[in-house]
Amino acid sequence: MTSSGGELRTTILDAGEAPQGKRLFGLSNEQLTDTLREFSLPPYRIRQLGDALYRQRVRTLDGITTWPRDLRERVARAGFQIGMPEIVQTFRSVDGTERYLIAGDDAQTVETVWMPEGDDSPQETDFSADDDGPAEPGAWSRATICVSSQIGCAVNCQFCLTARLGIIRNLSAGEIAGQVAAVLNRHGVEPGRDRINLVFMGMGEPFLNFDPFIAAVRLLVSEMGIPESRMTVSTSGIVPGILRFAQEPVRPRLAISLNASNNPVRETVMPITRKWDIDQIIDAVRKVPLRARERVTFEYVLLGGVNDQPQHADQLVKLIRRANFPAKVNLIAWNPGPDVPFTTPCPEEVAAFQQRLREQGIPAFVRRPRGRDIYAACGQLKKTVSSEPLVEIRERA
Ligand code: SF4
């Protein structure tokens, strides 16, 4: 994809163009059958392989203990490998958040964030959830994994560090689902037993890498056993992507990264608004069939003096009433980054904005920043490897 009106920058290299070897992780059952056709495997052998890849999350062919040794050896001799993405570097925040660099299919690394106790209150991340109550000290009762869909990003949001990278390339379905698998393995998480939420809010715009993103969602739901009700995807407002998303039978909850209450302000902070304005985005979202108790989230990064004034709150209320679908607002005080020319509103200003929305009947929540000290917070993912005052744990040389 090439640049368009300054909004989408540089050329995107699809993951399929990057060297991948003969990796099995990331393939659906149908793709596994096709890839391994030279072995004439009966369907139950493919099911055993899928179980080993996505439920047991084994790292080597030898770990597929339901397969006879002879079969594992033949598949290995033919050059196949599991190819589960590996965490190569970990940064741990004082608040327990961890940011990982995960090896991609080439020399690039992918960024993923683990947030014990989630990134928010439970009602904001799971429409089917009850409150679990307070966590044990040093333990976690629920956690959220923030997943990347691209390396870098072409959507030039002015407040976001990732935007500084431009787009480097798309991730494959295996690289997207693999981030989740690597983090689940690190923390010994079992979907079904443990409460886990996924947010596709890391590096990149998922709807500009739609097919791999949706393929990864299908793997995560049907093979890894994570319910779609525990997943949220955030888009900057890519209208064709929202319309495709509306047609998907298996889809996460939807969040719109809005960040402004009118088009002129949004154009200054999100130039992509010149391509699809707020009304076009709202019209597209109306086509998404919402499930019982589901609400669309409007994410709103508060930028001091830019979009955080009382009139902006009032415009936002009008905009959401006009949209006329179940919605809520997540407020995020801007997470500072070097050389990004914005200021962070103080907690009182954030609370006043929230109060003004709530007084007018709009559900509004303030998301507490997670992992700011390790550049893991919203809009901070930029492959940052400098670690002062970070805690850095090297996983692999
Ligand atoms: S906020 Fe999201 S869509 Fe915008 S540049 Fe950053 S990663 Fe891309």
- Whether 80 shows a pLDDT value over 70: the answer reads yes
Question: Which one of 146, 153, 157, 378 is the catalytic residue?
Answer: 378
Active site residue 378: yes
The reply to whether ligand 1 has any atom less than 6 angstroms from the CB of 379 is: yes
Report the nearest-CA residue for atom 6 of ligand 1.
160
Hey, whose CA ends up nearest to atom 4 of ligand 1? Answer: 157
* Cis before 338? omega within 30: no
Mean pLDDT of 244-258: 97
Residue percentage of the chain with pLDDT more than 70: 83
Q: CB within 8 A of 355, min separation 6: which ones? A: none
- 157 in contact with ligand 1, CB cutoff 6 A: yes
**Would you say 77 and 62 are in contact if contact means Cβ atoms under 8 Å apart?**
no
Query: How far, in Å, is the centroid of ligand 1 from the Cα of 324?
Result: 26
Q: At what angle do helices 239-247 and 278-286 cross, to 10 degrees?
A: 0
Residue to mutate (ligand 1; options 147, 165, 205, 208; most atoms within 8 A of CB): 205
Judge if the beta carbon of residue 206 lies within 6 A of ligand 1.
no
> Average pLDDT in the 365-388 region?
66
Q: How far is the CA of 299 from the centre of ligand 1 (A)?
A: 12
**Ligand 1 pocket, residue 155 CB under 6 Å:** yes
330, 323 contact by CB (below 8 A) = no
Ligand 1 contact, 163 CB (< 6 A):
yes
CA atoms within 13 A on the CB side of 188: 2
Question: For this structure, is 160 an active site residue?
Answer: no
Q: Which of 7, 98, 111, 124 is catalytic?
A: 111
Which segments of the chain are extended strands (E)?
22-23, 80-81, 87-92, 98-103, 109-116, 142-146, 150-152, 167-170, 195-200, 231-235, 253-257, 296-302, 327-333, 364-366, 391-394
Q: Which atom of ligand 1 is nearest to the CA of 205?
A: 3
With a 6 Å cutoff on the Cβ, whether 232 touches ligand 1 is: no
**What DSSP string runs through 17-46?**
GS---EE-TT--HHHHHHHTGGG---HHHH
What is the 119 CA–ligand 1 centroid distance (Å)? 18
Instruction: Using the mean position of ligand 1's atoms as its centre, give its distance from the Cα of residue 155 in Å.
Output: 6
Query: Is residue 303 a contact partner of residue 337, using CB atoms and an 8 Å limit?
Result: no
Reported as a single tens digit per residue, the pLDDT across 46-69 is: 999 999 999 999 999 999 999 999
- Asked whether the predicted pLDDT for residue 392 surpasses 90, the reply is no
How far apart CA 311 and CA 334 sit, in angstroms, is 19
Judge if pTM exceeds 0.85.
Answer: yes
- State the average pLDDT for the chain: 86
Ligand 1 atom closest to the Cα of residue 202 is 7
Min mean pLDDT across 30-44, 78-92, 348-362, 364-378 is at 364-378
Percent of the chain scored above 90 by pLDDT?
A: 73
- In tens, the pLDDT along 322-374 reads 999 999 999 999 988 777 889 999 999 999 999 999 999 999 999 887 777 77
Task: Say if ligand 1 is within 6 A of residue 205 CB.
Answer: yes
Which atom of ligand 1 is least distant from the CA of 163?
Answer: 5
More confidently predicted of 382 and 64: 64
Distance 397 CA to ligand 1 centre (A): 30
The Cα 28–Cα 53 span in angstroms is: 10
130 vs 240: CA distance, rounded Å: 34
